[in-house]
Amino acid sequence: MIAGRGLLAPLLVLAVLLAAPPFVSSYVLTLLTQSVIYAIAAMSLDVLLGYLGLASLGHAAYLGVGAYSVGILATRHGAGFGTILLAGIGFALVLAAVFGLLALRATGVYFLMITLALGMVAWGLAYRWVSLTQGDNGISGVPRPDLSLPWSLGDAIPFYYFALAGFLLALGVLWVIVHSPFGKSLVGVRESETRMRTLGYHVWLHKYLGFVISGGVAGFGGVLWAYYNGFVSPADLELSTSVELLLMVALGGRGTLLGPALGAGIIVLLKNLVSVYTHRWLLILGAAYIGTILYAPEGVVGAMRRVSANAEPAPARPEA
Amino acid sequence: MDFWITQIFNGTSYGALLFLLAAGLTLIFGMMRIVNMTHGSYFLLGGYVGLTVIWRTGSFPLAILVAAVAIAALGVVQWRLFLHRLAGQELGQVLTTVGFALIFQDLALIIWGGEPYTIPAPKALTGTVSAGTLYFPVYRIFMIGVAALVAILLWFVLERTRVGAMMRATVDDAEMASGVGIDVRRISMGVFALGALLAAGAGVVGGAFVGVYPGADFEILPYAFVVVIVGGMGSLRGALIGSLLVGLLDNFGKALFPEFSYFTLFAPMAVILAVRPTGLFGRT
């Protein structure tokens, strides 16, 4: 199913990403770093939205838990990278395991709303639980991880490769998962729960595992995000962050994994570059939301696959 | 005791404001299944338009009227041009309406700037009423009164008039309703306008209470959604009880457990939803 041609574009992009640092300005490099980190979160949401067909309005919660794990453990307990990484992913998995129990009782609009409420729970804790999170001020001064490498991750270029490695790791893990029989079963659940149930699948369990995996990977993205920013605040968990992740997935193409990663890059670049030229970036971003739905409902990658002559049909139904 | 009475009063008055916002949202939700993330913007834009009217004319009632009508028109245009095409596409609705919300936010920033404002309440509504050792701000009493009036009016229209019967029929089953000759499109448009109108009115009433400032739209939006969802989509009674519940939980959370105030609000909501995904008064 992955013809040579289908692999060409991603490999080209990867080559560009690997070779870019010496040729781009430090500003562009920070944007690339942001893009690959957000791509992790967007790909994790794609497991829910693209493969399971569940639109979540609370995905920033897992990103935030990962980020706050770094903020709290690194600044207050001086924990090392390994501990923090495990804790960040672990807490995100636990949160997703709890939230999943509640959220998966609903579908469709109700799923959207229950994840909205759950996302607000996480945001509310970050915002108000001042003794733990320092509230609205956020936690600043998060040090970059020390991996005893010959290069300091405090520098932009090594950290970029560090983030890129994290992105490739997340991509690899998610790629294996969605192309495994388990991943196929998620698509089956999206298309028809009844059919899958008749075939003997434990539908709820599959959805639940998909939900938890999605949260865990988002937590990993959150860990990298906090290290990159050196700062964690409730803004990382805001409703608008969750919505932006949805836009990244929709813009790139649901159920394509690489599409959402591309969508993340587009949105990060758009947000930052537009704000250089005009103060009206909210207008542009708003237009991007509306334009995506009206003109590219299946996303960039989905549209490319449709145009390509011998491509398979886009896996995600546009009207889902 | 005084503490409890004051907190219950404060919670109820905030609930009253939420009801004004959520009543329209629940009807829109119930009837069209549209997830309208622009609803908070109607609230904010209503506040801004009302502010301008007050600056020009000094009339509070006129501010409510002009804001409500102007924003209702805006909602109708938005619905006619975009939203009615997205029936059944939740993700599309969320992203499109968020897009509109961002655009409206920026337009408001261009027109009114980033300064926070408070709408000046009419003289008659300022001050407090005292009862024994307790003092109740008149404006909060006014908000409760307005919400009660709107609730009664909506109830009357929905339950006692022909248009209301058509609206209820559309909420119950839009296909059947159109089958018996109800113009579902027109009813839907009317309800959308009504929702925007109430939200804008709430924006003016609330503008004298919580203020009018950039970001107020996305601040109040989750509250309105939680009210609607907990009460049950399309249920006016649900919206009423939901707003009271949310107003009280919010208030007591902030007073009793400041560090967990949002947790004490949203966590019970999430649990209610998990137990009854269609809300307290929603139909399954």
ipTM for the predicted complex comes to: 0.86
Q: How many domains does chain A have?
A: 1
Q: Does the pLDDT at position A307 exceed 80?
A: no
Interaxial angle between packed helices B90-112 and A281-295, expressed in degrees from 0 to 180 and rounded to the nearest 10 = 160
Query: Is residue B237 situated within a structural domain?
Result: no
Tell whether B114 is within 8 A of chain A (Cβ): no
- Which residues have a Cβ under 8 Å from the Cβ of A215 and sit 6 or more positions away? A44, A61, A62, A92, A93, A95, A96, A97, A99, A100
Give the structural domain span for A232: 26-238
- Which residues have a Cβ under 8 Å from the Cβ of A169 and sit 6 or more positions away? none
Label residue A312 by pLDDT band (50, 70, 90).
Answer: low
Query: Is residue A265 situated within a structural domain?
Result: no
- Find residues 183-222 of chain A whose CB sits inside 8 Å of chain B: none
Q: pLDDT under 50 in chain B at which residues? A: none
Query: Is residue B243 situated within a structural domain?
Result: no
Percentage of chain A beyond pLDDT 90 is 38
Q: How many domains does chain B have?
A: 1
**H-type helices in B127-173, by residue range?**
138-160, 162-172
Query: Could you tell me which chain A residue has the CA closest to the CA of B271?
Result: A102
Mean pLDDT of chain A: 86
pLDDT reported for residue A85 = 92
What residues of chain A lie within 8 A of the CB of B276, using their CB? none
Out of A102, A125, A250, name the one closest to residue B95 (CB): A250
Query: Could you tell me which chain A residue has the CA closest to the CA of B88?
Result: A319
Tell whether B255 is within 8 A of chain A (Cβ): no
The reply to whether residue A120 touches residue B90, judged by beta carbons under 8 angstroms, is no
Task: Determine which helix (DSSP H) or strand (DSSP E) holds B17, and give its type and residue range.
Answer: helix B2-32
Give the structural domain span for B35: 17-215
Least confident range from A1-5, A84-88, A188-192, A298-302: namely A1-5
pLDDT reported for residue B283 = 64
pTM (whole model) above 0.95? no
Rounded CA separation B214/B45 (Å): 10
Label residue A5 by pLDDT band (50, 70, 90).
Answer: low
Q: Is B137 helix (H, G, I), strand (E, B) or coil?
A: strand
Query: Is residue B234 situated within a structural domain?
Result: no
Query: Is residue A73 situated within a structural domain?
Result: yes
- Find residues 165-184 of chain A whose CB sits inside 8 Å of chain B: none
Rounded CA separation A128/B255 (Å): 13
Q: Which residue has the higher pLDDT, A2 or B235?
A: B235
Q: Does the pLDDT at position A197 exceed 70?
A: yes
Query: Is residue B77 situated within a structural domain?
Result: yes
Distance from B121 to chain A by nearest Cα, in Å? 30
Query: Is residue B249 situated within a structural domain?
Result: no
Query: Could you tell me which chain B residue has the CA closest to the CA of A122?
Result: B263
What residues of chain B lie within 8 A of the CB of A124, using their CB? 260-263, 265-266
Label residue A281 by pLDDT band (50, 70, 90).
Answer: confident
pLDDT reported for residue A316 = 53
- For residues A75 and A259, the answer to whether their CB atoms sit within 8 Å is no
pLDDT reported for residue A320 = 40
- Find residues 24-43 of chain B whose CB sits inside 8 Å of chain A: 29, 33, 35, 37
- Which residues have a Cβ under 8 Å from the Cβ of B109 and sit 6 or more positions away? A282, B214
Out of A55, A105, A129, name the one closest to residue B260 (CB): A129
Query: Is residue B140 situated within a structural domain?
Result: yes
- For residues B33 and B87, the answer to whether their CB atoms sit within 8 Å is yes
The one-letter amino acid at B12: T
- Closest to B256 measured CA to CA, from B2, B3, B46: B3
pLDDT tens-digit map of A50-100: 898 899 999 999 999 999 999 899 888 888 888 999 999 999 999 999 999
The reply to whether residue B270 touches residue A243, judged by beta carbons under 8 angstroms, is no
Q: Which residue has the higher pLDDT, B51 or A318?
A: B51
What residues of chain B lie within 8 A of the CB of A108, using their CB? 90
Q: Which residue has the higher pLDDT, A94 or A134?
A: A94
Q: Does the pLDDT at position A278 exceed 80?
A: no
pLDDT tens-digit map of B65-123: 999 999 999 999 998 888 878 877 888 888 899 999 999 999 999 999 888 999 888 88
- Closest to A237 measured CA to CA, from A146, A115, A73, A150: A115
Q: In the numeric block, which tokens belong to residue A303?
A: 């549209």
Rounded CA separation A245/A264 (Å): 8
Rounded CA separation B240/A214 (Å): 36
